[in-house]
Chains A and B, each alone.
Chain A
């Protein structure tokens, strides 16, 4: 009898614990910014990665109430290591997604029916950086060197650059790069792949053992893929093509969403420090100077804008598609084998959004944009 009683007691304790645990939600976490206001249209945006100043425009638009002004209740969904934004979009998890054009082109060929409705970043942020003593100032100089690449669809500009320079992957030693820049700092990688807004700063936040001070920009050579002529379109806003075709309400929401997002980016252009602080307040754990650096560098990718922020430049789109069609990676594969469908991109909604914003007096060109000077501290603190 005694045994049984104890066992029943134990089971009861366990069951109570289970109930108690499942009944309440865990401390902290969550990350949804949704409200309960029934009059607002709920919209979910799937980001490519964790909260960081790369997405400062969207965070600023939430923080400053620009989405609310348009009648939208926007939830920003952070990405993760295995989250593919375009998959989240096609599965209906999100209403819009941020992703790079070359990555999405592959998904579209595999059947994803989605549309680029705004090309937020006009320029590519991908570079190949190396210390001055390696003497790598152009893609031609890659020959015989160890070249870092992240893979996972981030590597195409490297291959396009090689192809343009008449080199093949056999002329270089391609190594997979980690999240950190230790490969370059420790000399395993001669020229490392680096985003201007992130990894480049990581190097500048590290101590140069030779000088005892932080690495300086004049100690680093930068190969900018925009200048090489193989820059591919990066962060753009993707929408569900089926819903655009069949749902006038979604089309309307798209224009509103673009308008408010652009206002967020204009805010970030004029207030990089505030934009960085907003992202940090949203839960980013990047160091303060690193965050500001990122906000400033991202602004440089957008402003000054040639046709107005978000407008898809046909030449840039075609160049990206051509590279996706014609560039072979180390296994001989290309991103796509045929031209993407006509509805893979459209300026219909961004044009409407830009027109309305111009009428409101919003500076969508940023012609007078001047980047600020950011002083990085050790470790980006």
Chain B
């Protein structure tokens, strides 16, 4: 240990013969064995069960009228309308959607709506990630671009979603060339991408700028061009920043999709289902909870998909940093 080694400095560089640069970092843990994987799965399941137990426990012992200070309700009421039993929610999933003779089952409707929303969110995510990466590249390459664009990127996220959603739908309605017709779901995907690009552009820029100056200068001293430096040094170095950014983008895309669905009333997805079922809370308390399960499922699938993506690039993931 020399005085110059700070505790935060986990990455060191060893130039190999042929100028190839590799990064080594301290591993946080040993490779998880099969037992550890099982333990994680069991702990995960236990976590879900615990939430359910906490719900039912509060329902059992919590105050019937809730707990309020003045008019401000701090703890929810425990009656069956406000907090239906978990069993009620699951029973409702197994019942028909509307009561019409040809009605599909509730769980089926929720699965359909989730698939629809997930699809729209995925399109939004891909568009958002592409735009975010492109912006990060431009900002990394041209310092002027960074000064000019970065404030706008940050400002873009302060515009309330509900304000832009109807505008996007309106502009979309005016787009038409050839056989291509802008459809409402595209407006929703666009809004999802609007939320998704932000963490990616910021995270990727930070990642692309993360290599130490001495690495960059080493490349320069060998006369390596910008593109090669980008692919050999900056992109690999950006992975630890990029993965959390992509995860954030996935979460944002899902939220953006659901909120935009509500906002412009797009049919077929979870967001619209939430609003449509909200009125049933009094007479059919299990119904409004059905789409919530769908929303949770979408979130898990989206996060899982990014997790799989992260596995593909795991060799670069040493020394993960939060974006």
Cα of A207 to Cα of B273 in the assembled complex, Å:
23
Pick from A98-106, A281-289, A325-333, A365-373 the stretch touching chain B.
A281-289
Which of A4, A30, A178, A207 is within 8 Å of B268, CB to CB? A30
With both chains docked as a complex, state the minimum distance between the C-beta of A190 and any C-beta of chain B, in angstroms. 14
Across-interface contacts of A277 in B (CB, < 8 A)? 100
- The interface residues of chain B lying within 8 Å CB-to-CB of A82 are 162, 165-166, 263-264
Q: Which of A63-71, A195-203, A345-353 contacts B (4 or more CB under 8 A)?
A: A195-203
Taking CB atoms, residues of chain A closer than 8 Å to B267 are 29-31, 50-51, 78, 283
Contact partners of B282 in chain A: CB under 8 A = 180-182, 185, 202-203, 205-206
Q: How far, in angstroms, from A82 to B170 measured CA to CA in the complex?
A: 12
- List 9 interface pairs A-B (beta carbons < 8 Å), by A numbering: A21-B123, A21-B126, A51-B267, A88-B170, A186-B77, A203-B282, A205-B283, A280-B100, A284-B98
Chain A residues with CB under 8 Å of B272's CB are 50, 80
| Minimum CB–CB distance for B152 against chain A, Å | 24
A88-112 to B contact mask, C-beta < 8 Å, 1/0: 1001110000000000000000000
Q: Closest CB-CB distance, B286 to chain A, in whole Å?
A: 8
In this complex, how many residues of chain A approach chain B with their Cβ under 8 Å: the count is 62
A342 at the interface (CB under 8 A from B): no
A185-B283 Cα distance, complex, nearest whole Å? 10
Question: Given contacts A27-B115, A185-B81, A205-B284, are A81 and B277 in contact (CB under 8 A)?
Answer: no
Residue of B nearest to A207 (CB): B283
Whether A206 touches B283, Cβ cut-off 8 Å, given contacts A50-B276, A79-B265, is yes
Q: Does A3 belong to the interface (CB within 8 Å)?
A: yes
- A196-B120 Cα distance, complex, nearest whole Å: 36
Q: Name the CB-closest residue of A to B268.
A: A29
Known A-B contacts A87-B166, A186-B77, A377-B99; the reply to A199 vs B279 at CB < 8 A is yes
- Which chain B residue lies CB-closest to A10? B312
Q: Quick one: closest B residue to A280, CB to CB?
A: B100
**Chain B binding site: helix, strand, loop or mixed by DSSP?**
helix
A185-B282, A287-B98 given. 11 additional CB < 8 A pairs?
Answer: A10-B312, A10-B313, A21-B119, A50-B272, A180-B280, A181-B279, A205-B283, A214-B283, A379-B280, A379-B287, A380-B284
Which of B82, B116, B122, B166 is within 8 Å of A182, CB to CB? B82
- A285 and B81 contact, CB distance less than 8 A: no
Given the known interface contacts A179-B279, A182-B281, A380-B284, the answer about A26 and B99 at a Cβ–Cβ threshold of 8 Å is: no
Q: How far does the alpha carbon of A26 sit from the alpha carbon of B283 in the complex, in Å?
A: 33
B109, CB-defined interface residue at 8 Å? yes
> Given A82-B166, A285-B276, are A186 and B266 also a contact pair (CB < 8 Å)?
no
Closest CB pairs A-B (n = 9): A80-B265, A379-B284, A29-B268, A205-B283, A180-B281, A288-B99, A206-B282, A179-B278, A379-B283
Q: Tell whether, in the assembled complex, residue B263 and residue A285 are in contact, meaning their CB atoms are under 8 Å apart.
A: no
In whole angstroms, what is the CA distance A83 to B172 when docked? Answer: 14
Interface set, chain A 1-44, CB cutoff 8 A to B: 3-4, 6-7, 10, 14, 17-18, 21-22, 25-31
B98 near A30: Cβ-Cβ < 8 Å: no
A283 and B276 CA atoms in complex are apart in Å by 11
- Any chain B CB within 8 A of the CB of A381? yes
Kindly identify, within residues 65 to 122 of chain B, every residue whose CB is under 8 Å from any CB belonging to chain A: 77, 79, 81-82, 97-100, 109, 112, 115-116, 119-120, 122
Chain A positions within 8 Å of B98 at CB level: 280, 284-288, 291, 381
> Total A-B residue pairs with C-beta atoms closer than 8 Å?
164
Cross-interface CB contact of B185 among A6, A26, A291, cutoff 8 Å: A26
State how many angstroms separate the Cβ of A186 from the closest Cβ of chain B.
7
Contact of A179 with B116 in the complex, beta carbons under 8 Å: no
Given contacts A29-B185, A80-B265, A379-B283, contact A180 B100 (CB under 8 A): no
Tally of chain B residues near chain A (CB < 8 A): 58
Complex Cα spacing A178 to B123, Å: 32
Using a CB–CB cutoff of 8 Å, the interface residues on chain B facing chain A are 77, 79, 81-82, 97-100, 109, 112, 115-116, 119-120, 122-123, 126-127, 130, 162, 165-166, 169-170, 173-174, 183-185, 231-232, 235-236, 261-269, 272-273, 275-284, 287-288, 312-313
Docked Cα-Cα span, A289 to B312, in Å, equals 52
Q: Quick one: closest B residue to A378, CB to CB? A: B283
Are A7 and B123 interface neighbours, CB within 8 A? no
Complex CA–CA separation, A288 to B232 (angstroms)? 62
Whether B99 lies near A29 (C-beta < 8 A) is no
Interface residues of A in 169-228 (CB under 8 A from B): 178-182, 185-186, 198-199, 202-203, 205-207, 214
Can you list, as one digit per residue, whether each of A257-295 has a CB less than 8 Å from chain B (1) or not (0)? 000000000000000000001001001111111010000
A186 lies within 8 A of B170 (CB): no
In the assembled complex, which residues on chain B have CB atoms less than 8 Å from the CB atom of A6?
A: 312
| Residue A237 lies at the interface, judged by CB distance under 8 Å to chain B | no
**Chain A residues positioned under 8 Å from B130 (CB to CB):** 18
Which residue from A14, A88, A205 sits with its C-beta under 8 Å from B126?
Answer: A14
Q: At the interface, yes or no: A136 with Cβ under 8 Å from chain B?
A: no
**Once the chains are docked, how many angstroms separate the CA of A207 from the CA of B183?**
42
Most buried by A among B173, B267, B272: B267
Tell me which residues across on chain B come within 8 A of A198, comparing CB atoms: 279
The reply on A84 being an interface residue by CB < 8 A is yes
Chain B residue at minimal CB-CB distance from A199: B279
- Residues of chain B within 8 A of A283, CB atoms compared: 267
Q: Choose from A79, A84, A93 the contact partner of B173 (Cβ within 8 Å).
A: A93
Q: Judge whether B265 and A50 touch: CB under 8 Å.
A: yes
Residues of A within 8 A of B232 (CB): 3-4
Can you name the residue of chain A whose Cβ is closest to the Cβ of B265? Answer: A80
Contacts of B112 in A (CB 8 A): 27-28
Contact status B275-A179, CB under 8 Å: yes
Distance (whole angstroms) from the CB of A318 to the closest CB of chain B = 32
